[in-house]
Amino acid sequence: MTHNVKNHLDRLIQEALDLTHKERGRLPMQPYQQEWPSPCVINAPQNRPVEGELIRWTPVSQHPPSDMFTRLGDALSLEIHPDITDWYCSYWSDPIPATHSEGELTLLLCWNPEDMERLRANLIGHVMARQKLKLPPSFFFACTEGEEFMTLDNTDGRIWLEKPGRKPIRLLAESMTEFLDKLHSRPIPDVEG
């Protein structure tokens, strides 16, 4: 692991948590879903939450990191760029809101191993759509309020703004770390039931 991407993600998550605490005096909350468990859920062992009850959560490091990108690379016969692997395999978390010169965006992360498998299927679909357009593989990791995504070009690690199923719109940064340097987190919203 290069640690550069992880270090930037550490900063963004801590900044989001600090802003959330400053705004609401607590961690973010969302309804508990028994069928959708996560290491992110904060719960005293003696107080098992019930379905739909509001629970606190926080991003947590993946230990050990998921092997999903190794399996994804095998499925696509592709060596996956380490920056995207570091991005998705550092934390379990709900999405983190942020701002960039492009406006408000959402940093995509995975809530649990099942969510990581959903991501795997979506990334395969994204790569296949790009193959039809004769474009190099890319992997999305953030989205705007509209239908645009921030993607990492797997061949060179550059960051692009894209719309699904179309050619990239424009280059945003020469690397993931350069892109992340320009981000600022926002408070993490509570998720309504």
Residues 6+ apart with CB under 8 A from 100: 172, 179, 182, 183, 184
Write out pLDDT tens, residues 44-92: 555 777 888 889 999 999 999 899 999 999 989 999 999 999 999 999 9
Query: Taking 90 as the threshold, does the pLDDT of residue 101 lie above it?
Result: no
pLDDT value, residue 148:
93
Domain covering 4-26+59-185, topology: SMI1/KNR4-like (3.40.1580)
Exposed e or buried b per residue across 154-179, where buried means at least 16 C-beta atoms within 10 angstroms of its C-beta: beebbbbbbeeeeebeeebbebbbeb
pLDDT value, residue 44:
52
Spell out the domain ranges in the chain: 4-26+59-185
Write out pLDDT tens, residues 5-28: 999 999 999 999 999 999 999 999
Query: Taking 50 as the threshold, does the pLDDT of residue 2 lie above it?
Result: no
Specify whether the CB–CB gap between 180 and 10 falls below 8 A. Answer: no
Write out pLDDT tens, residues 119-143: 999 999 999 999 998 999 999 999 9
